[in-house]
Amino acid sequence: MKYILVSLTLLIASIASAQSDFERGEVFFKKEQFNKAKPYFEAYLDEHSNDLKTLEYLGDIAGYKKDWDTAMDYYEQLVDENDTSANYHFKYGGSMGMKALEISKIRAVTYISDIKYHFEKAAELDPKHIEARWALVEFYIQLPSIIGGSEKKALGYAEELAKLSLVDGYLAKGYVAEYSDRSDDAERYYKKAIEIGGSVTTYDKLTTYYEKNNRPKEAIETANKSLQKHKRNQLNYQIGKISAQYNLDSAQGIQCLQTYIDNYSVKDGVPKDWAYFRLAQIYRNEGNKDKAMLWIEKALSDRSDFKEAKKERQEILSM
């Protein structure tokens, strides 16, 4: 009996330890502390080689690090274990798609049929899978027609998106129109998306569209409307960036960038050194060499290998 109890104790301790590895990893994962989460998940996987959630977490961590080969390995195992999961197919196809973007065009072609299969399988398995349909819109519109690209198919998936989410439908149609150089249609669809949804994303799509089409005044106006509605600090940077790039409304650009710096947090996405860089650009546009120099030196003191800032510094010095 004594030996049985000892064995049971060791077994329970082993299970508890393994569970603890997973739980600790999950805590770090949810905090986006992926480097800390990874070893716990790997330890758990050593004892539970087919645990689907652990495989998925490790695949997601690899994807976050842009290690697409490793991500593909984990997602392939998930698809092998459960071929009826739309999400597994979507993630596997997505990791292959990202890998294809990093290699030569000749090698990338070999991935096309598999990417298409897994995205379409995800859409087939889950009639409400929005991400898979977005992926198919992008896949078919970006792919040259000679190797399977099709605006008609892209629009077909955009229509499917519209049935699930009218806003996503308009955004997808705008994306297709923009990619196909139907500028007026793109603008109309993006405006429709704002009218119906009014989310940060809808405003951002229209703002970016105006930037790409050399319409900075409309871009700033749209970003301003979004800022008034959503109060997101990142929009202050966007307005400042447009002001700097197009030498437009310098006073507002300076104010927005200073507000961005004062309220900055990591969640805003764009590092403060870029805001310093944009301020230097604006002051150079105004002919104020001293202030331009002050801000560009601040950018370089934050990041000494900031290539764009080094180039801007030379522009300022030549004033």
Q: What is the pLDDT of residue 14?
A: 52
Mean pLDDT of 118-135: 97
Confidence of residue 133 (pLDDT cuts 50, 70, 90): very high
Q: What is the pLDDT of residue 10?
A: 47
The C-alpha atoms of residue 100 and residue 70 are separated, in whole angstroms, by: 14
In CATH, what number does 18-126 get? 1.25.40.10
| 156-193 tens-digit pLDDT | 999 999 999 999 999 999 999 999 999 999 999 999 99
Q: What is the pLDDT of residue 146?
A: 74
Indicate the average pLDDT of the chain: 92
Residue 202 clears pLDDT 60, i.e. is over it: yes
Domain residue spans of the chain:
18-126
Residue 12 clears pLDDT 50, i.e. is over it: no
| 71-111 tens-digit pLDDT | 999 999 999 999 999 999 999 999 999 999 899 988 989 99
What are the angstrom distances between the C-alpha of 197 and each of 223, 231, 244, 286, 302? 15, 16, 29, 38, 38
List the Cα angle 199/132/201 in 5-degree steps.
Answer: 15
pTM of the model as a whole = 0.83
